[in-house]
Amino acid sequence: MKNIYFIILAVALISFGCASKRHAKQGLKFEEAGMYQQAAESFYHSLIADPKNIDAAVGLKKNGQRFLDDKMLAVHKAYTTGDDKETVYKYLDAKAYSDKVTAAGVSLTLTERTEGFYKEAKPRYVEARYNEARLLLDEEKFGQANEIFIEVKKLEPSYQDIDEQIKIAVCEPIYREGSQLLLNSFNRKAYEKFNSIITSFGTYKDAKDLRDEALNKGMITIAISPLANSSSRKDAGQIFEGKISSALTSLNNPFIRVVDIKNAKTFITEQQRAINTSSRIEVGKMLAAKAILTGTVLKYETLEGKTLQEEKRGFLKEVITHKNKETGEETFETRYHKITYKTVRKENKASVGFRYQLSSSETSTVLVADAMEQTASDQVHFAVFQGNSNNLVPGYWEHADKNSPKDKVSDSKGEIENLQQLLKAKQTIKTVEVLEAEVVDSFIQKVAAKINSYNPEL
């Protein structure tokens, strides 16, 4: 194992060494042609491939300094013409190149004079850009202002109140949009706007209070009434109630909340009393629920199938080799031994039917409604043989101890493959309890998903 490691390492070193020499040769050619920028880049790659390549280091220092000198000259020209922006960014470009080469192990000279020009121009440029952005902010050109504030922060991370200005530039248009949406009763969209501010910046004006207001106005509080049950299972209604409540509570939707079911029962009772006495109930005072979920379990059945076993008659194939002692020639004899094997069949089923509706507790308007029926099933069909099943051949025989004209060996390729598939088929079936849980959970998820997708603002 160690030998393999050393071989791989040696191959890698040779490869890097070759690459380093190749780049160094290119660097020399560029240098001879007076193309010192390209020469510096080639020597740089040569040194990266092999940090011990002295020729590459020498070549990079010589040509890299020439290239850096050009970059410094550009800084000086910009400073002379009074262009603070060019002075700043040309210097940052020169500094980035110097740092890049230094990281490769070669030190270049970036003069103090060049750095001085940068240090003189940068404060003027930063102040000018900051003031420009403030004017844009006053003109409510938030996007343009933010771009400049971000530039200022990159150049001077702690400049004045730069973080607060960026917050205003980003948050104010979102805040205004959210406020307008809230005013027009687009509560959910307003919530998203205010929540994005809080998520990104923590606080801004009264965004948190407005977010909470939007949430309260847009929230659908749901009470689940006792579900009717017309199925054969007595506790089907309670099962559905509990699972629906759990599924709705688990939704990652701030606008859906399930309220206490006892409150729902009180509401149903009071509602019925109001209908009987022709009186009016103030739902908002009596029940903290904006919607009532009612429904009926129409079907809740499980059917465990019978295990059907059948004895099958077949043959075990045996090939016997005979060898002629005089000639050495081999002949083959095929014999079929009568055997029995067993096939097993079974099917389990679970069926559920459910009808429901979500209605406004104030207007009785149906918000969501659906009726569904679903069946889940599982089957097994396999064969069992106590012996070497690889040589098992299907067929039929009349008598175990003697031959009959009715005996038949079904040794075609297709028939043998079919039998082998049965022998390898799964033998474990899902219980009716498992199927029941699957189909009920599937139902519940569909109910929850439909309610989750309901948006009164669309």
Same domain? For 316 and 399 the reply is yes
Same domain? For 68 and 175 the reply is no
Same domain? For 95 and 15 the reply is yes
Same domain? For 145 and 87 the reply is no
And the tokens for 282? 């103030």
**Average predicted confidence (pLDDT) for the chain:** 88
The range of the structural domain enclosing residue 52 comes to 2-110
Same domain? For 386 and 318 the reply is yes
Q: Percentage of the chain surpassing pLDDT 90?
A: 69
| Residue 166 lies inside a defined structural domain of this protein | yes
Residue 108 has pLDDT above 60, yes or no: yes
Give the whole-angstrom CA distance, residue 131 versus residue 61. Answer: 42
Domains held by the chain: number: 3
Same domain? For 106 and 157 the reply is no
And the tokens for 327? 């000639």
| Residue 270 lies inside a defined structural domain of this protein | no
Same domain? For 95 and 201 the reply is no
Contact 374, 439 (CB under 8 A): yes
| Residue 244 lies inside a defined structural domain of this protein | no
Same domain? For 145 and 92 the reply is no
Q: Percentage of the chain surpassing pLDDT 70?
A: 90
Give the whole-angstrom CA distance, residue 429 versus residue 381. Answer: 10
Same domain? For 31 and 137 the reply is no
Mean pLDDT in residue range 385-406: 91
- Among 218, 248, 278, the domain boundary falls at 218
How many CB atoms within 10 Å of residue 252? Answer: 6
Is the whole-model pTM more than 0.95?
A: no
For residue 360, the Cα-to-chain-centroid distance in whole angstroms is: 35
Same domain? For 61 and 182 the reply is no
Same domain? For 338 and 429 the reply is yes
Q: pLDDT grade, residue 388 (50/70/90)?
A: confident
So what's the pLDDT on residue 15? Answer: 47
- 432-441 pLDDT tens trace: 999 999 999 9
> Whose CA is closest to 60, among 83, 82, 41?
41
